[in-house]
Amino acid sequence: MQRPVISFAILGMLLLLGCPQQPECSTAGPVCSVGGVTYENECAAVAAKVQVAHTGPCEGQPPAGACTDSDSSHDIFTYGTCSMGEQSEEDACAGAQNVEECFCDGDVLATELYPCPEGFMCKGGACKEFECTDTDGGEKPLEAGTATDASRSIADKCKDEATVTEAYCDMDTAKAKEIGCPAGRHCADGACVEFGCTETDDGNDPVEAGTTTKGDISKDDVCLDPETLREYYCDDGAIASAEVECEDDGHCVDGACVALPDCLDSDGGKTKFTKGTVTAGRNSYEDECIDDNTLTEYYCVAGEVNSNQLICGYGYVCDEGACVEAECTMEEEDYDEETDYIFRTSSSIILYVGETIGLEDQYTLKLDEVLNESTIGIIVYEPDGDEECGEEMEAGDSTTDLCGSTDIELEIDEVSDGGSFMDIYADLDTNVKWLQKIEGRGTRMVETGDESCTEVTVIPDREYWWFYPRLEETSEGREIMMFGEKAEILEVDLADLQIKLELDGEDYTLEHGDDFDYGDKTYDVEMEYDDAGITKVEINDQ
């Protein structure tokens, strides 16, 4: 029980005496530790719990925590690193032309942006000389040169007469671009050079036609009148000219003084499609138009001048002394009309009561009624729609004198009254033909200008077609009219109410209740039909 009393007594004595004092350290420095590390001062070494060996820095070492720069500060041509304590920086490129240089500003680590000088670029944190050279010193289209980098060489060259492909250095890389030659120059051997003066007739030579050229300017020797020539030539690198009088035995033709001919025809003879001039001595005669279709053509025969009146003919008109193709123009017109079209003879046609077929010379025949199982009543109509005659015929009957006309032939093969229809068969050489009636409305583009201008383009708003006889599934190959052009039926599908046809090399499908595209328009399709076939098609622009 006495130990606690003694412990408290000792503690009290210590409190009265106080804690032992730490020895004071010096802030002067630097100092070198026993371990060979330089510290800023003795206090820094004590704080690091190391023993000081001597004052002054350790040999070859800056003080611990001091700022250091490996490339001797502000050296933009050498990559370096900087550090101070735990902080570090390195020289780095800021784009292709600038270097961000780290350095020590006293005891402060700092960075600053420096531009690389001309001919240098920043690579790997330092300014380095370009590795590309250009023998003509850059983008200079007036000089030929070669740009070379580490991997290739590019020589200046001509893209065409007016453009040079110029090689140049872009930093370390050889590149090329197209540059147009300035006015008065053209590209030759990889450079834009001045034009020289050239001529094709070897100088001031009036007996030979020539062309004198400098740059983009060309001058042809030309006749000023039948006796006078304008002769062009080169004089001290420039284009010059002079007026030359042809000698007494010559005259000017096509830019040269030539001997006077007995008879000379410029278009080579009696040709109506080229305007010509016949020259005899100092007299000349030009081909000329008498009217729109007639030409006076001059030509030479045995050294003498002759002439004839020539007809230009169909598709041509006379214009300025020659027959030329007639020029056609397109005119737009609206139409709203009904038209009948009769197609080639069929060897077998099924005709139903009330239907009509075409006959020779625009006559039509209508099956008016079926009287019994062997007799029918027919009506023949004239081209203007008036009734020609009405007759009764029986199965097996044939005639070559229908309604008193020897041009109309008809043979009745079979009659059936059970289904209110009949069969009419006619040989392929007979006069029975398919008939299509069309009611159309829209716009037509009509070619005009001459009787040879015949093109017509139909742009319908609507067309209604009636077929006589009606279209059946056996109507494949039958021709019909569609939008002013002939179309061929490829298939008739009564189950789906479809007509497949070919028009202008394209296949189309017309389906009841559906639409289809033709040209720039879309059309709705409606059909009238019965069990036997399709009797009418209505096409309307949407």
Q: Is residue 390 part of a domain?
A: yes
Same domain, 532 and 447: yes
Same domain, 291 and 252: no
pLDDT at residue 461, as a whole number = 93
pLDDT at residue 62, as a whole number = 67
Same domain, 31 and 48: yes
pLDDT at residue 501, as a whole number = 94
pLDDT at residue 499, as a whole number = 96
Q: Is residue 8 part of a domain?
A: no
Q: Is residue 138 part of a domain?
A: yes
pTM metric for this prediction: 0.40
pLDDT at residue 406, as a whole number = 57
Q: At residue 437, what is the residue type?
A: K
Q: Is residue 331 part of a domain?
A: no
Euclidean distance between the first and the last CA atom of the chain, given in angstroms as a whole number: 122
Q: How far is CA 82 from CA 85, 93, 299, in A?
A: 10, 15, 101
Q: Is residue 172 part of a domain?
A: yes
pLDDT at residue 22, as a whole number = 52
Q: 516 is written with which tokens?
A: 């289809």
- Whether the Cβ atoms of residue 220 and residue 211 lie closer than 8 Å to each other: yes
Same domain, 524 and 462: yes
Same domain, 108 and 155: no
Instruction: State yes or no: cis peptide before 30, omega within 30 of 0.
Output: yes
Per-residue pLDDT of 261-272, as tens digits, reads 788 899 988 889
pLDDT at residue 288, as a whole number = 95
Same domain, 372 and 415: yes
Please name the residues in contact with 255: beta carbons below 8 A apart, sequence gap of 6 or more: 209, 210, 220, 221, 222, 223, 229
Per-residue pLDDT of 250-262, as tens digits, reads 788 889 988 877 8
Domain count, the chain: 7
- Report, as ranges of residue numbers, the positions in the chain whose pLDDT lies below 50: 1-20, 420-422, 425-429
pLDDT at residue 302, as a whole number = 87
Same domain, 356 and 421: yes
Same domain, 483 and 506: yes
Please name the residues in contact with 21: beta carbons below 8 A apart, sequence gap of 6 or more: none
Domain that holds residue 399: 347-431
User: What whole-number distance in Å separates Cα of residue 370 and Cα of residue 419?
Assistant: 10
Q: Is residue 11 part of a domain?
A: no
